[in-house]
Amino acid sequence: MADERVRRVVCPGSYDPVTNGHVDVITRAAALFDEVVVAVLYNPTKQGAFPVEQRASLLESALEGVHGVRVETFANRLLVDVCSDVGAQSIVKGLRGGTDFAYELPMALMNRHLTGIETVFLPGDPQFEHVSSSLVKEVAAHGGDVRGLVPDAVFEALGAATVSDAS
Ligand code: PNS
């Protein structure tokens, strides 16, 4: 008899702001699993470049039409607790290359140590290998053209914002 459990995963991140690399990974996760919770993790005492509500709304507009995806925000939580709260069986992360893997592997092992949750790594699309939220902010803050690297709404928001936190 088929297992009818919903296969729900969490795609966590700061998303400050969402890039087209994130959108690609989330969209591919949505094709593999029944439900994707895009978890925007933030520190309420540390102001990012974009307020968390705006990060979430930019994600929602970028992911409009992608079936089975919802966006939620979480202040100062362990990722494993977020996963328990939303009933996710695994975590999905995109990897742009070996540097990402070196950064992500200890976190994946720690999360599995804590609750047994597995992390599924998806290879990032090579066209976005050089794209990160921090680089996009830095380039945009100095007048560089980041069109095509971020959703259109993010491109407009970057133009409107005084992006002082390009870290
Ligand atoms: O987009 P980012 O900044 O690379 O996302 C990093 C994030 C938020 C996914 C990571 O810092 C995280 O999982 N934070 C939650 C706190 C936590 O669980 N820390 C222990 C990880 S083993």
Q: Would you tell me the crossing angle of helices 152-160 and 133-141 to the nearest 10 degrees?
A: 50
Q: What is the pTM of this model?
A: 0.94
Atom of ligand 1 nearest to the CA of 15: 1
Atom of ligand 1 nearest to the CA of 107: 22
Tokens of 117: 């949750």
Atom of ligand 1 nearest to the CA of 78: 18
Q: Please tell me if the CB atom of residue 13 comes closer than 6 angstroms to any atom of ligand 1.
A: yes
Burial of 60: CB neighbours in 10 Å, binned 0-12, 13-18, 19+: middle
Between CA 13 and CA 33 the distance in angstroms is: 18
H-type alpha helices, the chain: 20-32, 52-62, 79-86, 98-115, 133-141, 152-160
Q: Please tell me if the CB atom of residue 19 comes closer than 6 angstroms to any atom of ligand 1.
A: no
Output the pLDDT for position 166.
47
User: Model confidence over 48-61: pLDDT tens digits?
Assistant: 999 999 999 999 99
Q: Among 43, 33, 138, 122, which Cα is nearest to 86's? A: 33
Output the pLDDT for position 167.
43
Output the pLDDT for position 91.
98
Q: What kind and span of H or E run contains 148?
A: none
Mind listing the pLDDT tens digit of every residue in the chain (167 residues)?
555 689 999 999 999 999 999 999 999 999 999 999 999 999 999 989 999 999 999 999 999 999 999 999 999 999 999 999 999 999 999 999 999 999 999 999 999 999 999 999 999 999 999 999 999 999 999 999 999 999 999 999 998 765 544 44
Task: Return the best residue to mutate from 18, 107, 110, 135 for the ligand 1 pocket (most ligand atoms within 8 A of CB).
Answer: 107
Q: Please tell me if the CB atom of residue 139 comes closer than 6 angstroms to any atom of ligand 1.
A: no
Residue nearest to atom 22 of ligand 1 (CA): 107
What are the catalytic residues? 22, 46, 96, 133
* Cβ-proximal residues to 112 (8 Å cutoff; 6+ apart), any chain: 118, 119
